[in-house]
Every structure is written in C-alpha cells, then in structure tokens.
Amino acid sequence: MEGKSEMIATWLKKHRLIYTGATRHPFILNIRDGSIDLSSFRRWLAQDYIFVRASVPFVASILLKAWKESDDSSDMDLILSGMAALNDEIAWFKSEASKWGVALHSVVPHKANLDYCRFLESVMSPDIEYAVAITAFWAIEAVYQESFAHCLEDGSRTPEELKETCQRWGNTGFGQFCRSLRNIANRHLEKASDDVLSKAEVILIRVLEHEVEFWNMCSGEI
C-alpha cells in the first residue's frame, strides 16, 4: 500500500480497469488507428462544447475553495491558469464547429452530458472539501491528456484533420499542468481525514464513470 502522499497512485492501481476504460476507450482508439467515424467526432465536438462551458463555474468554485482552504498560494495561480485556458478552449470549439459545419447554437445536450454537468454542479457545493474537488478536477483533465496523447504516440494513424485536436490536449505543456494538479491533490489528500479520503476516492470513480459514458455517447453507443 502506498503512503498517503501517493493516494492517487494507490487509487489508480486499485481502479485500473475503469481508468483504462476512460483513457483507452474505443472512441480514442478509433482516432488513433484512423478508423474514427467523423460523425462521432462531430458529436463529440458539439457535446464537449456544452461541457466545457459548464466547466467554467466548476473551476471557479475550485478557485474559491483554494482561496479558503489551501496553504499554498501557488495553487490559485495554477487553477487560474486553468480558467484562462477554458476561455481559449471555448473560442477553439467555436472555430472548429464552424470548420466542421456544427451549429453549436442548436445542439441539444445528451443525457450523458447533462448527467456529467449535474455532477460538476454537485462538486461545486460548499460542503465539498477542496481536496475532493481538486481530485475531481485533476481526473477530468488527466483523462483527456492521457487519451489524446495516446493518439500522438509513435505508430498512431490519427487522421491529419484530427491531429490539431489531439495536440490540444495531448501536448507536453498540458501534461505538465495535469501533473501539477495531481501534486496539489496528493498534497491535500496526504493531510485529509479518512472521511475526506473516502469522498475523494468515490469522486474519482464517478469522474471516470462519467468519462466512459461521455465517450460512449460520442461513439453512438447510448
């Protein structure tokens, strides 16, 4: 058993199956091997735009929790950089949607998306501790980073028109951001009570479950 300082590593070993399901989903593997149905990609583009917009108040709530609960001011700096990136991300989605002929104003959120957005809202509650919320934030970002980085590795046959998307989340800079989030989460989990640790582990599992459902939706499986 890992020490408390490596709680995330411990949980990833324990929940390896669902973590692999989220980061090596058939939707991602189909991008990587070049067999992706582009209608699935358009569905992802439309639905993820809605999710990213819902992420803005979520990340803002974590910034507020950091201000109240963190013992390190650099936490706020990192989370603030994540908020700034969301602004760029929303602009990118609008640009990509125009390129792919996706009318964002008429997109109806799928149930899997609505469920995930409601989950984000639940984590925004003042009753949710910073250690729990930052774990959720790390998990959400890490799934995308690991998934899209996989599509850029040697041997991948990712279509040229999707490489920019994969680079957006699979680049080394975003990887470093995710590692920094993980370090913050581990630091606070190390000092957390058993009750908070239990809540954080459950939140991590729920993020991974929602990610799998989101990919399923994009693949047209639900």
- Which residues are designated catalytic? 211
How many angstroms separate the Cα of 71 from the Cα of each of 103, 133, 181, 187?
A: 44, 16, 15, 10
The H or E element that residue 96 is part of is: helix 74-100
CA 158 to chain centre: 21
Count of residues for the chain?
222
CA 145 to chain centre: 8
* Helix, strand, coil shares, percent, the chain, to 5: 80, 0, 20
**Torsion, CA 162, CA 134, CA 208, CA 38, rounded to 10:** -20
C-beta atoms surrounding 152 within 10 Å: 15
Tokens 């729990």, residue located: 132
